[in-house]
Amino acid sequence: MEKRKSARFDVSQEMKGKLLNVVSFVANNLSADGINLVSHFQPVIGSSYRIFLFHGRDGRQQEFEIEINRAEVASFDARKYASLQPGLLFSIGAKFKKVDDRQKEFLLSFMKVKAPGHDEGFISKDKIKSGS
């Protein structure tokens, strides 16, 4: 089990983007170090990809490079993933590679404020477990 380095935050609005500038995804949550995506694309664990995130409020977009550390089948939830076509979806865990100040500011604009004491936990290959 690997201890999470940064707090994970739910997104404050729908966060969409493109993987490889072609495949659409929706972001579930993010931290300063990584992001959880849901997409029809099944990436190769350990590989690096470029993603583009779009800010729905003001039309800004930002490019990031990510390294995939988890990919597993996800169930389709029409309420959460309305912008994706129904079908086989993958929940993709990735860490950001080389995030500069401009990119950090962009990510902060999506983060929901969390209640104190809920930012520590452990992540395993199978599931997220509460910290102790």
- Position 108 scores a pLDDT of 83
pLDDT at residue 12 in the model: 56
Q: Where are the domains of the chain?
A: 2-114
Three-state helix/strand/coil letters over the chain: CEECCCCCEEECCCCEEEECCCEEEEEEEECCCEEEEEECCCCCCCCEEEEEEECCCCCCEEEEEEEEEEEEEECCCCCCCCCCCCCCEEEEEEEEECCCHHHHHHHHCCECCCCCCCCCEEECCCCEEECC
Q: Select, from the ranges 55-59, 68-72, 117-121, the one with the highest average predicted confidence (pLDDT).
A: 68-72
pLDDT of residue 5: 59
Task: For residue range 72-113, list pLDDT tens digits in order.
Answer: 998 887 777 777 888 899 999 999 998 999 998 888 887 765
Residue 115 has pLDDT above 70, yes or no: no
- Looking at domain 2-114, its CATH superfamily turns out to be predicted glycosyltransferase like domains (2.40.10.220)
**Does residue 16 or residue 63 have the better pLDDT?**
63
Task: Give the pair of three-digit tokens for residue 79.
Answer: 């309420």
More confident residue, 18 or 115: 18
Taking only the tens place, the pLDDT of each residue in 5-40 is 566 656 655 566 666 656 788 888 888 889 998 888
Its pTM stands at 0.69
